Structure 1
Amino acid sequence: MSESPVSSRPSRPPVYFLGIGGPNFIENKGHPAYAQLVKIGQEITMKVNPKAVVIFSAHWQASPDKIRINVAEHTDIIYDFYGFPPHYYEHKYPYKGSPELAEKVIEKLTGAGVEVERVERGLDHGAWVGLLAAFDPKTNPLNVPIVQVSLFNDEDIGRHYRMGQALESLRDEGILIIGAGMAAHNLHDFRAAMRSGSAAKTMPQVA
């Protein structure tokens, strides 16, 4: 797909959230949510036309007092899930990072008092599964650098909000910010609660 003219790029891209249900989402193309991500991907490539993408995944948390950022240009995707059929670990999502954009993100975060650790790490499935649905490499490729940033390893809303405030100005430079994964996703705790019966006590009863 050819890129849209630069003149059509909005001066301030919106922020998107690509929600997925799990790795099996990439094969559930008949699901309405999959069709919605395809639609969002077309909107981004044809109308938003970003210069680059900064993506946050709910599957990558660093520590309670600092975040991590991928500073490498070339890394493989991560198959950070288990128990799926072998072919799930053969999926690919072609992309490149941007050390320059990573340093710009680091500068803005450290300027806001956020401690940052530089790492070389591929996109986790919370990020690449949604990107693969929205930006099919054959039909709707996203040919711009992608830099993934972690979250804090806690649920402190205030600190995450301030992190967003520190990076908000990236949008004025045509850089798209994406949240990915799921807003609530802790299968370990959920399964433990189901085994103990505590989940049944707290879940609403349906008539």
Structure 2
Amino acid sequence: MTRLPALFLSHGAPTLPIDPSMPSGEFAALSTQLPRPNAILMLSAHWGTAAPVASTAQQPETIHDFYGFPRALYEIRYPAPGAPDVARRAAAQLSEQGLLATTQSHGLDHGAWVPMLLMFPAADIPVAQLSIQPHMDAAHHFRVGRALRALKDDGVMVIGSGQITHNLRSADFSAGPNDADPRVAEFTDWFEERLAARDIDALLDYRSRAPHAVLMHPTDEHLLPVFAALGAADDDYTLSVQSLGTYQRTLAMTNYVFGSA
């Protein structure tokens, strides 16, 4: 089959599937441009552990890991089957590279099921989730991605799910799409330029080199999944960018596809 791309998705707020003002349809459009995977390995910003953990759940539960949202959101279920074999292989490959990984049964948090619901609503593609390590840096997650790269040859799509900018403290939830802080674009433009140039060294050192990096990510758990996706990408990847705008003044939504040349 076609060698699969690796993806980074900005999953937005949990309300993405039910809020008509948010770009949910664009996720569906993106999925039509991708080869169909045999399984998905998802790294979400919302499952953090001290060391990598891969979920071997046979039928992952839909985790509603948020509070104070409309009732309809809590009634959503994403009943995709798990991919325990993929999880076990991912853990083995990480351990072989010195990134000692374990397995356990774990459901899909909203960073995983929200984009999957929009992209693959039939819920017929097996999904396994792999935790991130919020206390570790970009280089660690790039190394995680490198260890996972071989999974793509077996039809497994590696997806990182987070947010290209994520500072809730500076967000303005009354702001419109045209009220974006100009510093958001300065950061995302730098990041996209470095991705297009395949400048891995600069990207891994983004907190020192990117404009407004600490403002855009006071803590970087929502950006760490992009480095895992980047690590899983081919050395000569082609970059496709789906820019979905900036919401609440500082929360940009951009999706990246790291394709095979």
Alignment TM-score, normalising by the size of structure 1: 0.76
Structure 1 or 2, whichever has the larger Rg, is: 1
Secondary structure of the structure 2 residue equivalent to 1:158: helix
Alpha-carbon shift at residue 155 of structure 1 (Å) = 4.5
Pick one of 91, 96, 116 that aligns with 1:111: 96
Deviations 1:141-199 (A, max 9, x none): 25221110010122411111111000011111221111113244464xx27xxxxxxxx
Task: Map Cα deviations across residues 21-62 of structure 1 (whole Å, 9 max, x no partner).
Answer: 21111112453x322211112223xxx121111111011110
1:99 to 42, 60, 84: 84
Q: Which of 136, 147, 150 is the aligned partner of 1:169? A: 150
Identity of aligned residues (%): 33
Q: Does structure 1 residue 39 correspond to structure 2 residue 29?
A: yes
Determine the structure 2 residue equivalent to 1:82: 67
Q: Secondary structure at the match of 2:158?
A: strand
**1:177 alignment partner AA:** V
Aligned partners of 1:130 and 1:181 also within 8 Å = no
Q: Number of paired residues? A: 172
Question: Aligned letter for 2:14?
Answer: P
Trace 1:18-33 onto structure 2 (pairs within 5 A).
Answer: 18-31=9-22, 33=23
CA separation of 1:30/1:135 partners in 2, compared to 1, >3 Å: closer, same or farther?
A: farther
Report the Cα offset of residue 135 of structure 1. 1.6
Q: In structure 2, how many angstroms separate the alpha carbons of the residues matched to 1:80 and 1:178? A: 20
Asked if 2 retains the 8 angstrom alpha-carbon contact of 1:18 and 1:37, the reply is no
1:14 aligns with 2:19: no
2:97 is matched by which residue type in structure 1? A
| CA root-mean-square deviation | 1.9
Q: Write the letter of the residue equivalent to 1:36.
A: E
- Unaligned runs of 5+ residues in structure 2 are 171-213, 216-261
SS at match of 1:28: coil
2:40 maps to which of 53, 66, 80: 53
Give 4+ residue runs of structure 1 displaced > 3 Å after superposition.
183-187
Partner letter of residue 132 of structure 1?
L
More helix by proportion, 1 or 2? 1
Asked whether the 8 Å contact 1:58–1:183 carries over to 2, the reply is no
Distance 2:75 2:119 in 1: 19
Aligned with 1:58: secondary structure? strand
Which of 106, 119, 123 is the matching residue for 1:134? 119
RCO higher in structure (CA 8 A, sep ≥6): 1
Partners of 1:105 and 1:26 lie apart in 2 by 29
Change (3 A) 1:185 1:121: farther
TM-score by length of 2: 0.61
